[in-house]
Structure 1
Amino acid sequence: MATTVVIDYYSDVLCVWAWIAQRRIDELNEKLSNKIEIRYHYLDVFGDAANKIPKQWAERGGYAGFAKHVVDSAAPYPDAQINPNIWHKVRPTTSANAHLVLKAIELSYGKDKSIELALFIRQAFYIDGQDISQLPLLFLLLERAGIALEPVNKALNDGSAMALLMADYQQARALSLKGSPSYIIDNGRQVLYGNVGYRVLLTNIEEHLKQPAAEASWC
Structure 2
Amino acid sequence: MSGDPVAPRLEVVEYTDPLCPWAWGSEPTFRRLRQALEGRVRWRRVYCILFDDDDDPAPDPAAETAWYARYIEEVGAHTRAPYAARLSRVAASSWPASLVAKAAEAQGEEEAVRALRRLRETVFVLGEPADTLDLALSAVRDVPGLDAARLHRDATSEAVREKVLADHAEARRPVAEVLAPPSGDTPHPGAAKETDDGTGLRYALPTVLVRGEAGHRAVPGWRPYREYVAAVEELSPGLVAPVPPLPANEALRRHRTLTEPERRALAGGPWPPPDADRVDTANGPLWLCPSEAEVHPATRPTATPAR
TM range (shorter): 0.7 to 0.9
Tell me what 2:75 maps to. 73
Deviations 1:133-153 (A, max 9, x none): 022222222322253332223
Matched residues in 2 for 1:143 and 1:112: separation? 15
Matched residues in 1 for 2:92 and 2:67: separation? 17
Does structure 2 retain, via aligned residues, the 8 Å contact 1:181–1:193? Answer: yes
Does structure 2 retain, via aligned residues, the 8 Å contact 1:4–1:34? Answer: no
SS in 1 for 2:42: strand
SS in 1 for 2:171: helix
Deviation at 1:18, TM superposition (A): 0.5
Q: What are structure 2's unaligned runs of at least 5 residues?
A: 1-6, 175-200, 239-307
Deviation at 1:40, TM superposition (A): 1.4
Q: Kindly provide the amino acid, as one letter, of the partner of residue 63 in structure 1.
A: T
Does structure 2 retain, via aligned residues, the 8 Å contact 1:81–1:126? Answer: yes
SS in 1 for 2:85: coil
Give the structure-2-normalised TM-score. 0.58
Write 1 or 2 for the structure with the bigger share of helix: 1
Matched residues in 2 for 1:40 and 1:178: separation? 13
Could you say what the CA RMSD is over the residues aligned between the two structures, in angstroms? 2.8
Q: Percent identity?
A: 20
SS in 2 for 1:7: strand
Q: How many residues align?
A: 202
Tell me what 2:100 maps to. 101
Deviations 1:169-193 (A, max 9, x none): 1222234543211111115612222
Matched residues in 1 for 2:49 and 2:167: separation? 9
Match for residue 185 of structure 1 among 204, 210, 221: 210
Tell me what 1:141 maps to. 139
Does structure 2 retain, via aligned residues, the 8 Å contact 1:4–1:36? Answer: yes
Q: What are structure 1's unaligned runs of at least 5 residues?
A: 212-219
Q: Max radius of gyration: which structure? A: 2
Deviation at 1:49, TM superposition (A): 9.0
Between the two structures, name the one with larger relative contact order (CA 8 Å, sep ≥ 6): 1
SS in 2 for 1:76: helix
Does structure 2 retain, via aligned residues, the 8 Å contact 1:47–1:96? Answer: yes
1:144-183 correspondence to structure 2 within 5 Å: 144-146=142-144, 147-175=146-174, 177-183=202-208
Q: Kindly provide the amino acid, as one letter, of the partner of residue 66 in structure 1.
A: Y
Deviation at 1:48, TM superposition (A): 4.4
